[in-house]
Amino acid sequence: MSIEKTESDRFLIGLFVTGVISVSIILFIFYEFGLIREFSLIFSTQFLSGREFAMLNGASMEVSLYVMILVSFISDIGCMMIGLPIFVIFHEELKQIPVMAPFMNFSEVITSNKSGLMHKFGLVGIFMICFIPFQMTGGLATACFAKLLGFTVREIIPVIAIASVIASVFWAVTADAVMQYLGPVQHYIPYFIVLVVASILVYNFVHYRNR
């Protein structure tokens, strides 16, 4: 599946540079406030396994509700601003990289489904996909799916931003409430998260590698 370039390389490079600078500043701020560990915890879990696991992991480690929401939203927007230009400019080259093959194949499979949410509901479908708390439904993945369907970056960014902030608040509050009822069991959640992340990575690599 080819990608329709609705923006110039200059615009995409500008978006990439803006994302890199913004993320660098944010990381510095988190470091100055002594929150870089919390940022790394939420970001890495969300990037590898999805928002719901990131929120559960953060809540089990007693990370502040506001920090979880902020990091989850920043992770989505930062990854999208940096990753989407790379996805568009180097789309064909990324298909040739073994470690990227599972995602590239999955993105084409999901966007070729004519009965899917994005085909049926357009930008509303994109919002719904970004809100759903599963792996490969975060800001970057959803933006890549939308771009394959021909949406412009100017259409994609506002929808992803709104969906991300609402999803971050909803799932952070939900995870925090769940942890209040789990009591001592919550300390085993990080081990469960590691097992889930490892299983997802292995499944994606094996299942989508040769498709």
pLDDT in tens, 143-169: 988 888 888 999 999 999 999 999 999
Q: What is the pLDDT of residue 18?
A: 96
CA 75 to chain centre: 7
Task: Give the C-alpha separation, 68 to 45, whole Å.
Answer: 12
116, 125 contact by CB (below 8 A): yes
Instruction: Identify the band that residue 19 occupies on the pLDDT scale cut at 50, 70 and 90.
Output: very high
Q: Is residue 186 part of a domain?
A: yes
User: Is a pLDDT exceeding 60 seen at residue 208?
Assistant: no
Q: What is the pLDDT of residue 131?
A: 83
What's the Cα-to-Cα distance from 96 to each of 61, 82, 102, 108, 198, rounded to whole Å?
38, 20, 11, 14, 23
Q: Is residue 31 part of a domain?
A: yes
Instruction: Identify the band that residue 50 occupies on the pLDDT scale cut at 50, 70 and 90.
Output: confident
Q: Is residue 43 part of a domain?
A: yes
Q: Which domain holds residue 25?
A: 9-208
Helix/strand/coil for 64: coil
Q: Is residue 4 part of a domain?
A: no
130, 163 contact by CB (below 8 A): yes
Structure tokens at 149: 């369907």
Q: Is residue 2 part of a domain?
A: no
Q: What is the pLDDT of residue 74?
A: 93
Instruction: Identify the band that residue 1 occupies on the pLDDT scale cut at 50, 70 and 90.
Output: low
Q: How far is the first Cα of the chain from the last one, in angstroms, to the nearest whole number?
A: 13
118, 131 contact by CB (below 8 A): no
User: Is a pLDDT exceeding 90 seen at residue 96?
Assistant: no
User: Is a pLDDT exceeding 60 seen at residue 170?
Assistant: yes
Q: Is residue 116 part of a domain?
A: yes
Q: What is the pLDDT of residue 22?
A: 95
Structure tokens at 159: 């929808």
Domains in the chain, number: 1
Q: Which of 70-79, 88-97, 181-190 has the highest mean pLDDT?
A: 70-79
Q: Is residue 102 part of a domain?
A: yes
Within a 10 A sphere around the Cβ of 96, how many other Cβ atoms? Answer: 10
State the sign of the Cα–Cα–Cα–Cα dihedral 183, 185, 189, 191. positive
User: Is a pLDDT exceeding 60 seen at residue 115?
Assistant: yes
Report the pLDDT averaged over residues 44-63. Answer: 83
138, 76 contact by CB (below 8 A): yes
Q: What is the pLDDT of residue 133?
A: 62
Q: What is the pLDDT of residue 184?
A: 61
Q: Is residue 124 part of a domain?
A: yes
| Rounded (10°) CA dihedral 200, 141, 161, 70 | 30
Average pLDDT, the chain: 82
Residue that wins the pLDDT comparison between 131 and 110: 131
